[in-house]
Structure 1
Amino acid sequence: MRKEPNLFKVCILSLVFAFIVGLVGIETAWATGTSLKIGLATNQRTGYVFSKSMLYFKDASGKSFKASGKVLLKTNSPKKIYVNDKSATLPLAITSKTPIYWENRPYRGWLQIYPSSQGFNVINVISVEQYLRGVLKMEVNPAWQMEALKAQAVVARTYALRNKGKHSSQGFDLCALPHCQVYRGINAEDPKLDRAITSTKGLVLYYGSKLAVTPYHSDSGGYTANVWDVWSGNIPYLKAQKEPFSYVSPYSNWRAVIPLGELESKLKKNGINLGKIQRITIAKRDEGGRAVSILIEGTGGRKTIKASKFRMIAGSDKIRSTNFEIKGVGKNRSTPTGRLSNQLSEEAVLNDHDGKLLSSLVKEGVFSTEELMDMLVHPERKPHYLRVALQRQSGTKSKTSYYFASSNDNALVLEGRGWGHGVGMSQWGAKSMAEHGWDFKKILMYYYPGTKLKKIY
């Protein structure tokens, strides 16, 4: 007589099976799509790999072996590497059933050790969706609105696929640094960001028949930049755009002080030898008020360069954006050029009319505390501050020049807004849009007008 199955055991086994299938489905979902090679480290001579399960190695000659625990990688000759005491030929593939650690940081996918001119490069081979899990937290705050996070997922995915092969000469597609997109592997994963990635899975931006160019930055300061003013080329959907909503970010206002001697040295290192700097001028601004070009005059000549290039030379960590005004500090006088009003005196000392006008502007609260203190300590700068106040009231920005007699006594002072190159999507701007009810599609169409969303897998 046939024994009837135990219904309780059947239910338990069914649940276990469903759970396992579910896990496989999740991993399969993450694994779909194009794979990427991400450069984690370059020109290494030694380093450690580790996994909580067995590590499997296969070299260029087809030789395979395995090891457990913390494994030392070391090279002292081109295309050769030692895995603990075993010799292998590069490139070397490293796989495991669990995440692999490179120098104490865990990564999904698998690692490839690729030969370089000074040792070896460490490459993480991973699917696009898994890659994004290690990127988004480095770019946006998981506490932000979901629609802003979705927008970031789409532009980061598009950027990665559009720039695939950017570092092909080094054996990988993208680096893990700000030069491409900051990538930190499993350490950067977050459940809310995972939802933003899965809900936009495979979605990218296209322009015509090609993947769109999707640069992004932290904060536009109220107005994005034209791509042709910052880099080059005429990409119609990367144009200056006024932010639809005002917002405040940690980068809304900043101040940079750069000693002229330091600036002269940096210019010289970049092939711009103008001697001692005598004058710096914002030669051109765009429709949003961003500096487009800078005129630098020195004892050895004069040169006009893009403001974006000037920012990178001086230090993008100091000059946070090209949305700035120039100010001068030191013992020497500063003389703004240009006349805004027939009433405005060009004298170093204000006449009675301009003095009364300046006093009324002070009472109106036009100046900051720092500016009031500077006028008190340096009364000879009052003509400059009168011009600044009139420019603010008229809504215009001047092509301000500053004269410097000695690099030892002066520094260039900039006051600006925003952080980043300004092209494409402003992350803080996207946050503001999401707070006002915009969905991720509307956000993307605003920053990249004329592009289309397309699901590629």
Structure 2
Amino acid sequence: MRTVILARRRLRRRRISWNCCKKIALAVFFFSLCLCLSAEAQARWIRVGLMTAPSAPISGRSLSGRDGGGRRFSLPASFSAHARGSNVVIQGKSYASPVIVSSPHQIRCGKVSYEGELVLRARGGQVTVINRLDVEKYLRGVLGYEINPQWAMEVLKAQAVISRTYALAQMGRHEASGYDVCTTDHCQVYRGTNVLHASTDRAIAQTRGQVLTYRGDLAHTFFCSDSGGATADVGDVWGKRVPYLVVRKEPFPSGSPKARWEVSLSAGEIQNALAKKGKSVGALSQIAIERRDAAGRAAALRFTGSAGSSVLSSAAFRTLIGAKKVRSTFFEFSPDGPRTTDVPDPVQRREAPRTARKIAFDPTPLTTAEDAQLKALIEQKKFNVDERLDMILYPERRRNYLYKALGVETPAMERKREPLEQPAETAKSIPNPARTAVSASLAGGSVTLYGRGWGHGVGLSQWGAKAMADRGWSAENILEFYYPGTTIQKR
């Protein structure tokens, strides 16, 4: 009897021990699962559209693939992906779209290397390449291009916060194409690992997860290169008022090499621009500043001609003429007069003159094949925002842009070659808006604008922020100045 009792006790102890083991094993499993879920939750994935073309060149080390059906397979170190219907073809083998290319190393698409994975989607005979990666890694390929990595850490940190905020606010902007953001300044310029720098990496790490919010929502963190001494009200630029995107007069001169510019515009050039906007005034005789903002920036312009007059916002005028010509809306019609005292004037530096060839535009309509070719080049991001807008405003220039992208000359360019010209040096001074001519006659056939700054002027001015950081301002102080009323939060 005693033997039976002892045997039962031993069996009970074994059951208790086995149950404990099972509980410990389950606890370890769930703890590990929580860690994985936590890591996944911390990662904020973003899909960046890299290119859309008939074929996509991919290369890298230890590449592997997974198709839309979940099938896994190894990939060569270098290959071209093609589209066949809705399938992706690699070395003659067809895979269900999308094909995900991954590697423990960077993956190269064309001439640029990327972190994360590449997603290949086939549609309409074209392959779209998408870079899927964590937002923090995405920022590494943005900051190195968008701002000078040699600048003070506090201005780099401020840029990291607004670029992160801007990226998250743009999520899904290109959803129709299967990705969130593109690689151009339509969203933010992104150059993968080709622009990595230790300083910008530190700025991203030190601000990890930080975004700018207003009343709990992501803020609109627009930024420009140089505001010219005072930021612009977003309502004057894009029409919609935002409480924290208002005129802010900067406390220090920026020292920007883009502080001064001047450009001469012909009457014909302005007339054509107005006509595209439906604001034709006939033979243009005068241009005048109709309204200024709180900083003295031109907010609206009046154009007078033989057929009457019309008013246009200066921001719209800048877009029509071209942002590379009219660099900002902070301009006057005269280089003379005393400097304004309430807006600190940036330190003057001259830009090196650039040469540009006058283009003899070929207005011949594109053939069907050429039109398809141009659309493919646009999808491949071969043109910047200004060039795409120029093609929309001036369809007769589309052939020139096509031939330029292909590296050949149009027949019109071969028939007519114009001499090279150099733009005039930057203006020596910027006048006080209250004491300079508010209008200019075009009796001579042209008008010269004398301006300051570069960009739309809304939100943070990078050169202005640099001046603040150089004087000891923190990233928090800089952001508070440019986006008053906003809050830094971690998300």
Tell me the TM-score normalised to structure 1 length: 0.74
Aligned residues: 363
Describe the shift of the 1:161–1:397 C-alpha distance in structure 2 as closer, same or farther (beyond 3 A): farther
* Residue 404 (structure 1) aligned with residue 442 (structure 2): yes
Post-superposition CA distance 1:249-308 (Å, at most 9, x none): 011101122333233334334444444322222111101111111122334443211111
Amino acid of the residue matched to residue 466 of structure 2?
Answer: K
1:367-389 deviation digits (Å, cap 9, x = unpaired): x9xxxxxxxxxxxxxxxxxxxxx
Q: Tell me which residue corresponds to 2:256.
A: 249
Name the stretch that deviates more: 437-446 or 79-88. 79-88
| 1:346-371 C-alpha deviation (Å, 9 max, x unpaired) | xxxxxxxxxxxxxxxxxxxxxx9xxx
Which of 475, 480, 489 pairs up with 1:440? 475
Match runs of 1:99-114 below 5 Å: 99-114=106-121
RMSD: 2.6
- Equivalent position SS for 1:134: helix
What corresponds to 1:47 in structure 2? Answer: 56
1:66 aligns with 2:66: no
Matched, 1:424 2:433: no
After the TM superposition, which of the residue ranges 118-127 and 189-198 deviates more from structure 2? 118-127
Query: Is 1:35 the equivalent of 2:45?
Result: yes
- Aligned partners of 1:87, 1:298: CA distance in 2, in Å? 63
Q: Residue 433 of structure 1: CA displacement?
A: 0.6
Q: What code does the residue aligned with 2:441 have?
A: Y
- The partner residue of 2:485 within 442, 447, 450 is 450
Matched, 1:296 2:331: no
* 1:121 is aligned to 2:156: no
Check whether the contact 2:65–2:101 (CA below 8 A) recurs between aligned residues.
yes
How many percent identity over aligned positions? 40
Q: Is the 8 A contact 2:334 2:436 kept in 1?
A: no
How many Å separate the matches in 2 of 1:121 and 1:47?
8
* Cα deviation code 1:43-101 (max 9, x no counterpart): x1122000122x222333444432212111223x5423322211233332221221110
Looking at structure 2, the residues matched to 303 and 58 of structure 1 have their Cα atoms a distance apart, in angstroms, of 59
Q: Give 1:36 shift.
A: 0.5
- Please state whether the residue corresponding to 1:142 is helix, strand or coil: coil
**Cα distance, 1:240 vs structure 2:** 0.3
More moved, 409-418 vs 272-281: 272-281
Q: Is the 8 A contact 2:334 2:431 kept in 1?
A: no
CA distance in 2: counterparts of 1:241 and 1:36, whole angstroms: 33
Q: How far apart, CA to CA, are the structure 2 residues paired with 1:30 and 1:51? A: 25
2:86/2:124 contact within 8 Å kept: no
Structure 2: tracts of 5 or more residues without a match: 1-34, 338-347, 349-429
Q: 1:235 aligns with which of 232, 235, 242?
A: 242
Q: Is the 8 A contact 1:31 1:130 kept in 2?
A: no
Summarize the Cα distance change of 1:246–1:303 in structure 2 as closer, same or farther, 3 Å threshold.
Answer: same
Amino acid at match of 1:208: R
CA distance in 1, matches of 2:286, 2:303: 6
